[in-house]
Amino acid sequence: MMKKIKVGIIGATGYAGVELVRLLLLHPCVELTALSSVSYEGKKISQVYPNLKDICDEVLQNEDIIDKCDVVFTSLPHGLSEKFAAKCLANGVKMIDLGADFRLDSAEEYSKWYGKKYEEEDIHSQALYCIPELHRKQYISQPIIGNPGCYPTSIALGLAPAIGLAIDNTVVIDSKSGVTGAGRGLADNTHYPNCNEAFSPYKVAAHRHTPEIEQTLSKLKGKKVNVTFVPHLLPVNRGIVSTIYFNVDRPINAEELRELYATYYKDEKFVRVLELGEVANLRNVKYSNYCDISIHYDEHTQRAIIVSTIDNMVKGAAGQAIQNMNIMFKLDEDSGLNYIPPSF
Amino acid sequence: MMKKIKVGIIGATGYAGVELVRLLLLHPCVELTALSSVSYEGKKISQVYPNLKDICDEVLQNEDIIDKCDVVFTSLPHGLSEKFAAKCLANGVKMIDLGADFRLDSAEEYSKWYGKKYEEEDIHSQALYCIPELHRKQYISQPIIGNPGCYPTSIALGLAPAIGLAIDNTVVIDSKSGVTGAGRGLADNTHYPNCNEAFSPYKVAAHRHTPEIEQTLSKLKGKKVNVTFVPHLLPVNRGIVSTIYFNVDRPINAEELRELYATYYKDEKFVRVLELGEVANLRNVKYSNYCDISIHYDEHTQRAIIVSTIDNMVKGAAGQAIQNMNIMFKLDEDSGLNYIPPSF
Amino acid sequence: MMKKIKVGIIGATGYAGVELVRLLLLHPCVELTALSSVSYEGKKISQVYPNLKDICDEVLQNEDIIDKCDVVFTSLPHGLSEKFAAKCLANGVKMIDLGADFRLDSAEEYSKWYGKKYEEEDIHSQALYCIPELHRKQYISQPIIGNPGCYPTSIALGLAPAIGLAIDNTVVIDSKSGVTGAGRGLADNTHYPNCNEAFSPYKVAAHRHTPEIEQTLSKLKGKKVNVTFVPHLLPVNRGIVSTIYFNVDRPINAEELRELYATYYKDEKFVRVLELGEVANLRNVKYSNYCDISIHYDEHTQRAIIVSTIDNMVKGAAGQAIQNMNIMFKLDEDSGLNYIPPSF
Amino acid sequence: MMKKIKVGIIGATGYAGVELVRLLLLHPCVELTALSSVSYEGKKISQVYPNLKDICDEVLQNEDIIDKCDVVFTSLPHGLSEKFAAKCLANGVKMIDLGADFRLDSAEEYSKWYGKKYEEEDIHSQALYCIPELHRKQYISQPIIGNPGCYPTSIALGLAPAIGLAIDNTVVIDSKSGVTGAGRGLADNTHYPNCNEAFSPYKVAAHRHTPEIEQTLSKLKGKKVNVTFVPHLLPVNRGIVSTIYFNVDRPINAEELRELYATYYKDEKFVRVLELGEVANLRNVKYSNYCDISIHYDEHTQRAIIVSTIDNMVKGAAGQAIQNMNIMFKLDEDSGLNYIPPSF
- pLDDT, tens digit (0-9, with 9 covering 90-100), for A245-288: 999 999 999 999 999 999 999 999 999 999 999 999 999 999 99
CB-based contact D192 B188, cutoff 8 Å:
no
The pLDDT value given to residue D121 = 87
Return the pLDDT at A71.
98
Q: Where are the beta strands (DSSP E) in B76-134?
A: 94-97, 127-129
Chain C segment 136-175 residues within 8 A of B by beta carbon are none
Q: How high is the pLDDT of residue D1?
A: 57
C-alpha distance from residue D311 to each of B180, C204, C343, D156 (Å): 29, 22, 31, 15
Q: CB contact, 8 Å: C192 with chain B?
A: no
pLDDT of residue A121: 87
Q: Do D236 and C305 touch (CB under 8 A)?
A: no
Contact A179 C192 (CB under 8 A): yes
Cα(C283)–Cα(C294) distance, integer angstroms: 14
Q: What gap in Å lies between CA D205 and CA D229, rounded to an integer? A: 5
User: What is the torsional sign of CA C106, C109, C112, C113?
Assistant: negative
Q: List the single residue in B227, B243, B297 with the smallest CB-CB distance to A201.
A: B243
- Mutation target to probe the B interface, by most B beta carbons within 10 A, among C284, C288, C310, C343 is C343
How long, in residues, is chain C? Answer: 344
Closest CA to B71 of B342, B340, B324: B324
pLDDT digits (tens, 9 = 90+) for B203-217: 999 999 999 999 999
Integer Cα distance of D93 and A92 in angstroms: 57
Which residues touch A219 (CB under 8 Å, ≥6 apart)?
A: none
Q: Over 70: is that where the pLDDT of C211 sits? A: yes
Mean pLDDT in each 10-residue stretch from start to end of chain B (344 residues)? 91 98 98 97 98 98 97 97 97 98 96 94 95 98 98 98 96 98 97 98 96 98 98 98 97 97 98 98 98 97 97 98 98 98 98
| Residue B205 near chain A (CB below 8 Å) | yes
**Dihedral over Cα of C102, C106, C107, C113: its sign:** negative
Active-site position among D88, D150, D195, D291 = D150
Predicted local distance difference test score (pLDDT) of residue C308: 98
- Count the neighbouring beta carbons within 10 Å of the beta carbon of residue C161: 23
Question: Chain B contacts of D236, Cβ < 8 Å?
Answer: 196
Query: Are the beta carbons of A274 and D53 separated by less than 8 Å?
Result: yes
* C-beta atoms of C284 and B50 within 8 A: yes
pLDDT at A2 over 90: no
CB contact under 8 A, C196 and A236: yes
For the segment A78-122, what is each residue's pLDDT rounded down to a tens digit?
A: 999 999 999 999 999 999 999 999 999 999 999 999 999 999 889
- Hey, which bits of chain B come out as E strands? 5-10, 30-36, 71-74, 94-97, 127-129, 144-146, 172-177, 200-201, 228-233, 240-247, 271-273, 291-298, 303-310
Active site residue A56: no
**Per-chain mean pLDDT for chain C:** 97
Interface test with D, best of A27, A269, A273, A344 (most D CBs within 10 A): A344
- Measured CA to CA, the distance from residue C162 to residue B274 in angstroms comes to 53
Of residues B51, B238, B283, nearest to C341 (C-beta) = B51
Nearest to D311 by CA among D339, D331, D279: D339
Answer yes or no: pTM beyond 0.95. yes
Distance CA C89, CA C66 (A): 10
Smallest CA–CA distance, residue D174 to chain A, in Å, is: 23
Interface with B, mutate which of A283, A296, A313 (most B CBs under 10 A): A283
The DSSP line for B1-59 is -PPPEEEEEESTTSHHHHHHHHHHTT-TTEEEEEEE-STTTTSBHHHHSGGGTTT--PB
Closest CA to B86 of B95, B76, B75, B77: B95
Please indicate if any CB of chain D lies within 8 Å of the CB of C283: yes
Which one is catalytic: A29, A130, A150, A195?
A: A150
Interchain CB contact of C184 with A (< 8 Å) = yes
Chains that touch C (3 or more CB pairs under 8 A): A, B, D
Cα dihedral A193/A195/A197/A203 (nearest 10): 150
Per CB-CB distance under 8 Å, the chain D contacts of B184 are 191
Q: Chain D: give the shortest CA distance to residue C106, in Å.
A: 18
Record: contact A54-D26, CB cut-off 8 A: no
**CA A100: distance to chain centroid?**
10
| Interchain contact, C51 vs B18, CB within 8 Å | no
Residue A1 pLDDT class (50, 70, 90 cuts): low
Out of C184, C191, C197, name the one closest to residue A190 (CB). Answer: C191
Q: Tell whether C218 is within 8 A of chain D (Cβ).
A: no
Residue D10: strand, helix, or coil? strand
Q: What is the mean pLDDT of chain A?
A: 97
Low-confidence ranges of chain D (pLDDT < 70): 1
Which residue, among A107, A105, A170, has the nearest Cα to A303 in the 3D structure? Answer: A170
- State pLDDT tens for residues A200-218: 999 999 999 999 999 999 9
Which chains have 3 or more CB–CB distances shorter than 8 Å to chain B? A, C, D
Residue D227 makes CB contacts below 8 A (sequence gap 6+) with: C301, D171, D172, D173, D210, D213, D214, D217
How does DSSP classify residue D283? G
Report which residue type is found at B238: R
Which one of C204, C247, C253, C311 would you mutate to disrupt binding with D, by most D Cβ within 10 Å of its Cβ? C204
* DSSP code of residue D161: G
Quote the pLDDT of residue C2: 73
Nearest to D228 among C200, C205, C298 (CB): C298
Give the pLDDT confidence of C93-135 residue by residue, as tens digits: 999 999 999 999 999 999 999 999 999 889 999 999 999 999 9
Q: Could B193 and D197 be called an inter-chain contact, meaning their C-beta atoms sit closer than 8 Å? A: no
Q: Is C147 left (phi over 0), alpha (psi -120 to 50) or beta?
A: beta
Residues of B noted as catalytic = 150
| B16–D contact, CB cutoff 8 A | no
Reported confidence tier of residue C1, pLDDT bands at 50, 70, 90: low
- Please check whether residue B192 touches A, CB under 8 A: no
Digit-coded pLDDT (tens) for B50-81: 999 999 999 999 999 999 999 999 999 999 99
Cα separation, B126 vs B137, in Å, equals: 16
**Is the Cβ pair D226, C199 closer than 8 Å?**
no
Distance from CA of D290 to the nearest CA of A (A): 10
CA-only gyration radius of chain A, Å: 20
A287:D342 CB<8 A = yes
The pLDDT score that the predictor gives to residue D2 is 73
Output the pLDDT for position B42: 98
Task: Give how far Cα C121 sits from Cα of C83, C118, C138, Å.
Answer: 12, 6, 20
Q: What percent of chain B has pLDDT over 90?
A: 98
Q: What share of chain A in percent tops pLDDT 70?
A: 100
Interface chains of chain D (3 or more CB pairs under 8 Å)? A, B, C
Q: What pLDDT was estimated at residue B2?
A: 73
Interchain contact, B241 vs A227, CB within 8 Å: no
Q: Which residue of B has its CA nearest to C310?
A: B51
The answer for residues whose C-beta is within 8 angstroms of residue B267's C-beta and 6 or more apart is none
C-alpha–C-alpha distance, residues D80 and D64, integer Å? 14
Q: Which of D226, D243, D344 lies nearest to residue C301, judging by beta carbons? A: D226
Contacts of C283 in chain D (CB under 8 A): 194, 197-200
**8 Å CB contact between D43 and D59:** yes
The per-residue pLDDT for C83 is: 96
Three-state SS at B302? coil
D310 to chain A: nearest residue by CA? A51
For this complex, say whether ipTM is above 0.95: yes
